[in-house]
Amino acid sequence: MNLTLTINGEPVAVPNVSPTMTLLQYLRASGRVGTKEGCADGDCGACTVAVIGEGSDGKLHYQAMNSCIVPLVSMAEREIVTVEGVANGSLHPVQEAMVKTGGSQCGYCTPGFIMSLFAAYYDGTVDDLAVEGNLCRCTGYASIRRAAALVTGAAPVDAFSERLQHPLNPLPPLGLADRESPSEQPFYRPGALSEVLMLLQRYPEAMLVAGATDLGLELSHHRQQFPILISLEAVTDLRFIDRRHDAVEIGAAVPLSHIEDQLRGVFPSLDEMLHWFAARQVRNRATLGGNIGTASPIGDLPPVLLSLDATLRIAGPNGERQIPLCDFFKGYRQTDLQPGEVIVSVIIPTSPIPGSQRRLSQSYKVGKRGTDDISIVAAAFTIDLDADNRILHARLGYGGVAATPARARGVEDLLIGQPWNAATIELAKVALYDAFTPLTDLRGSAEYRKRLVVNLFEKFFVQHP
């Protein structure tokens, strides 16, 4: 297949693109080697580029992304800035700041830092969150943080800011005619849910992809070839956030960074987990539907959604249906999705149960690093209390302790009707220790995980007496 895109202000035509080629692979093969490859997993940020896209406010922004896990075909008609395009006759202010503070030593990670700082510079706030997805192993971060402090709060008026004033070219749906020959591995980007369902009927073996932050790992390491890819990122039916009086419905293809911005303060446990969910480069691409649909036992968001009694809206050839998230995961990487079905949205209730006088809700993630790491154990809890401080409703969601994200249902039942006090927590701790049978792996032993299951709930009580 052929595609066109804009790189550093210049239109580029790319013929005969393999749908499994990543943006980073193309950039380096085309001589744009300033963008580096480090981990090829979306963890280190050395490959960061800035892509013009629509932010949660509906305006155009430079969005930092990991080019190592972005399929090149998903960048069709997009405008990309790489480190080669930042200096326009003279150093860009973020480059000047890094030079002034000595923010570079070996220099391998520097292009990625520059691009993360660049994207944040045009949003006006350059802080630690701007570079949370960029690792530096030799300079240390003090000098980089000083560089960020020099450029935060800017209101730039330059060629780059002017580009954001021009409307972004619409993402044209790629239709069935785009398949050039039987030997091609086609990539489709439909614009409506009806087209997605039609494609799934025609190609039942197709892989659905939204942000590609999970599938991108397979592409970057050449571990797997996919016969057909169907992108969901341009499907308007899947990109919405609807706040109702009793619930919030979130489209499956909404980027996590949009959820982070638009729903801040609505669900404290979701706010907390999104803060620790990978890094900004990943959250600009990753979607809620993707994090659920992969059915990973260590996905960060399912425990939160389980604790909030989320429901999935699913569409398929026989119409729509709804299913509680707690019934969706059937086994390791197995779900209740039937052939031809796709997750449309996630519905999260906002009202406590009748009789509740106080709702307590929070989430926790334990990993080797604070952000930008896979969790060893993730947990999320929601407790509703009556006027006598007795438990009316309890949801304890966990990840990393079973073949699927799961609730500690037996412990939830034990808690109902009990007073919210230290004696009840001691009873719950005994039951929680035996609630799951986790595995031992490189990140942690089974015993360590069992202890975390218990201790995180006790921590929740201590923080919410």
Residues 417, 378 within the same domain = yes
**Percent of the chain at pLDDT exceeding 70:** 95
Q: Which helix (H) or strand (E) holds 428?
A: helix 422-433
Asked, for residue 408, whether it belongs to a domain, the answer is yes
400 pLDDT higher than 70: yes
Q: Span 147-174, mean pLDDT?
A: 82
Asked, for residue 168, whether it belongs to a domain, the answer is no
C-alpha span between 297 and 291 (Å, rounded): 10
Q: What is the number of other CB atoms lying within 10 angstroms of the CB of residue 268?
A: 16
Decide: 385 and 357 in contact? Cβ < 8 Å.
yes
**pLDDT band per the 50, 70, 90 thresholds, residue 175:** low
C-alpha span between 46 and 108 (Å, rounded): 7
Residues 203, 258 within the same domain = no
C-alpha span between 11 and 228 (Å, rounded): 27
**pLDDT band per the 50, 70, 90 thresholds, residue 180:** very low
199 pLDDT higher than 50: yes
Residues 371, 334 within the same domain = no
pLDDT at 212: 87
pLDDT at 94: 97
C-alpha span between 398 and 407 (Å, rounded): 6
pLDDT at 241: 97
3-state secondary structure of 231: strand
Residues 312, 413 within the same domain = no
Q: Span 105-122, mean pLDDT?
A: 96
- Residue 207 is part of a domain; what is its CATH number? 3.30.43.10
Residues 440, 370 within the same domain = yes
Ranges 228-242, 367-381, 401-415: which has the least confidence: 367-381
Task: Give the type of residue at 456.
Answer: L
Between 90 and 215, the more confident residue is 90
Residues 256, 287 within the same domain = yes
C-alpha span between 356 and 241 (Å, rounded): 26
Q: Which helix (H) or strand (E) holds 37?
A: none
Structure tokens at 409: 């249902």
**pLDDT band per the 50, 70, 90 thresholds, residue 172:** low
Number of domains in the chain: 4
Asked, for residue 245, whether it belongs to a domain, the answer is yes
**Percent of the chain at pLDDT exceeding 90:** 80
Task: Give the type of residue at 427.
Answer: L
> Given the DSSP bridges, would you call strands 79-81 and 3-7 parallel, antiparallel or unpaired?
parallel
Asked, for residue 283, whether it belongs to a domain, the answer is yes
Residues 336, 365 within the same domain = no
- Residue 250 is part of a domain; what is its CATH number? 3.30.465.10
Average pLDDT in the chain: 92
C-alpha span between 281 and 285 (Å, rounded): 7
Asked, for residue 284, whether it belongs to a domain, the answer is yes
Nearest 5°: CA angle at 92, between 125 and 42?
60
Q: Which helix (H) or strand (E) holds 419?
A: none
Asked, for residue 169, whether it belongs to a domain, the answer is no
Ranges 127-136, 179-188, 406-415: which has the least confidence: 179-188
Decide: 280 and 118 in contact? Cβ < 8 Å.
no
pLDDT at 182: 42
- Please report, to the nearest 10 degrees, the dihedral formed by the alpha carbons of residues 37, 41, 43, 44 taken in order: -10
Asked, for residue 363, whether it belongs to a domain, the answer is yes
Residue where a domain terminates, one of 294, 326, 349 = 349
pLDDT digits (tens, 9 = 90+) for 276-332: 998 999 999 999 999 999 999 999 999 999 999 999 999 999 999 999 999 999 999
**pLDDT band per the 50, 70, 90 thresholds, residue 171:** low
C-alpha span between 256 and 237 (Å, rounded): 17
C-alpha span between 394 and 420 (Å, rounded): 11
Tally the C-alpha atoms within 13 A of residue 98's C-alpha that lie toward its C-beta. Answer: 24
Residues 267, 367 within the same domain = no
Residues 187, 255 within the same domain = no
Asked, for residue 170, whether it belongs to a domain, the answer is no
Residues 191, 217 within the same domain = yes
Ranges 44-48, 210-214, 386-390, 456-460: which has the least confidence: 210-214
Residues 126, 85 within the same domain = yes
Which domain range does residue 9 map to? 3-163
Q: Span 205-233, mean pLDDT?
A: 83
Residues 297, 343 within the same domain = yes
